[in-house]
Amino acid sequence: MDRPGKNLVIFRDETEIPIQKGGINLYAPGYECTFGFDPAFDMLSASPTLNEASRSFCEALVTDGDILNSRDPFWAFNARNLLSALFIGGVFFWKSIHKRAGEFLPSDLPSLTDVILGMVDDMASARMKKGESTSRVSASLPGWWNLVPEEERDILRAIMLDAPLNTAGSLIAVVNSFTGGLSAFYSSGKCDLLFDPDTEENIFAFLPALNAATLNVLLRTARAAWGKNLRLAACGVSSWPRRSLDVLGSFWSETFSGDDGFLLLASNPHKELVSWYSGDCAWGNALTASASSFFRKSVEETTGNPDGRLTALSVEAPELCDDYSFLRLSEEGWSLGSIKEELVDEMQGRGHVLLRPADCGQSEEIRSLRAIFEGRQGPVFSYQNGEETFIVHPHSEENGSEEEPFDELGFFGIIEELERERDVSLSYPGDCPDSQEKDEKGERQPGDTEDETSET
């Protein structure tokens, strides 16, 4: 990659990345020192207009390929329209949240992506509450509804709130199929830009910490933020998962012309890779059997030499290259290239980065819940005497302990108290007293037949 620009490096093995003097900007969810990633905020910050940011975000989640390859493009197209309207509405909603927060932002402020995806759930809830009614008066609108521009509100009404219930439900399912792969990998809380258009920092993304959907959004966010300055290096591609390779191939065909700004490193160029890559290829002296076979085949196809040797060059095969040279095949033909010796020597003297899984721990909420639930143990066994079943707790007198029994009220007693205190009707599994009383009185149960009822 000779032209200047900003580098996005996708790597699969830590040993592929030498230690940098200033450290690296790492994106590796679940690992220490990783940057956050809010794709909606990154695209908004890099776009000239709000509509352009919305288009970039929605096309990253629902690609043109998704629409063209769909059996019924209607659903994918409307999913993109719904996300587009919610992106614009989400920006206004997020703006309102920031204004209300004032100068000192709370630590739990959500990311823009989290706000937008949460609004998808709000729309689903609003449509469910409306039910089968077609009246706009009966619609239960989300709290942020009046913050959304009128044009976007009209779109949301047309494709969700005023649509038949089964159509709206199907659309939400399609939207979730496009956004679900991203849900565990973006930052739920507000974070700094990953692709800052005003800095010269490179980004290193750890592929094993991502899935194919997140890789797709990451690549398209880089393109939206950096534009023609984007330079992409994909390392260790021979061991990439198939779906990640497909994502890389689609992005390469849409973004790059040849290998300008694109570097692909692979030890075994298998057929999935060769099927879409048509840029320059180079071979060094550290060949695998697969790479050597690919070289000989390329020589035979381009020169007609059946022995797979470049007789027109001073070095006829990659095995004869030294540590600083390589053989290259481009549109102009075969050539012998070289790398500066001092650069190679410097890289060989460096160590490599070391990634450590982050110790995320547990939130204060979970710790407090565990203190409640683990502090009082439930029954551990039961025994039956005739038709009566007895539940014995480890602290009961029958079990040789002087501690108080588990609870005098019992489970159903607790439920009854909650119903009285909160005036809430709760349902729970298992046999309940009401159903047993009806059984004893001879009232017909759902599973009874006509004969059984009359005999009772």
With cut-offs at 50, 70 and 90, classify the pLDDT of residue 275: confident
User: 11 lies in a domain?
Assistant: no
For residue 456, pLDDT over 70 is answered with no
If you average pLDDT over residues 128-138, what whole number do you get? 67
Domain boundary among 182, 206, 237: 182
- SS3 assignment, position 54: helix
The predicted-structure confidence for 190-216, as pLDDT tens digits, reads as follows 999 999 878 878 899 999 999 999 999
User: 401 lies in a domain?
Assistant: yes
Query: What pLDDT score was predicted for residue 285?
Result: 87
Distance CA 5, CA 28 (A): 22
For residue 425, pLDDT over 50 is answered with no
State the chain's mean pLDDT as an integer.
81
For residue 32, pLDDT over 50 is answered with yes
Cα 131 to chain centroid, rounded: 31
The total number of structural domains that make up the chain: 2
Domain boundary among 148, 182, 216: 182
User: 231 lies in a domain?
Assistant: no
For residue 378, pLDDT over 60 is answered with no
Rg (CA), the chain: 31
12 with 235: CB under 8 angstroms? yes
Q: Where are the alpha helices (DSSP H) in 335-375?
A: 341-348, 364-375
Domain boundary among 141, 165, 182: 182
User: 172 lies in a domain?
Assistant: yes
User: 74 lies in a domain?
Assistant: yes
If you average pLDDT over residues 430-441, what whole number do you get? 47
User: 222 lies in a domain?
Assistant: no
The predicted-structure confidence for 14-24, as pLDDT tens digits, reads as follows 888 877 766 67
Query: What pLDDT score was predicted for residue 138?
Result: 47
Beta carbons within 8 Å of 82's beta carbon, 6+ residues apart: 120, 123, 155, 156, 159, 160, 171, 175
Query: What pLDDT score was predicted for residue 139?
Result: 58
Q: Which range of residues forms the domain containing residue 143?
A: 39-182
With cut-offs at 50, 70 and 90, classify the pLDDT of residue 324: confident
With cut-offs at 50, 70 and 90, classify the pLDDT of residue 431: very low
Name which residue leads in pLDDT, 414 or 349: 349
Q: What is this structure's pTM?
A: 0.76
With cut-offs at 50, 70 and 90, classify the pLDDT of residue 351: confident
If you average pLDDT over residues 220-226, what whole number do you get? 93
User: 54 lies in a domain?
Assistant: yes
The predicted-structure confidence for 108-119, as pLDDT tens digits, reads as follows 889 999 999 999
User: 116 lies in a domain?
Assistant: yes
With cut-offs at 50, 70 and 90, classify the pLDDT of residue 175: very high
Beta carbons within 8 Å of 249's beta carbon, 6+ residues apart: 275, 276, 277
Residue located via tokens 């290193």: 204
Distance CA 20, CA 206 (A): 16
Query: What pLDDT score was predicted for residue 415?
Result: 62
206 with 28: CB under 8 angstroms? yes
Query: What pLDDT score was predicted for residue 59?
Result: 94
Beta carbons within 8 Å of 210's beta carbon, 6+ residues apart: 29, 185, 218, 244
Give the single-character DSSP code of 207.
G
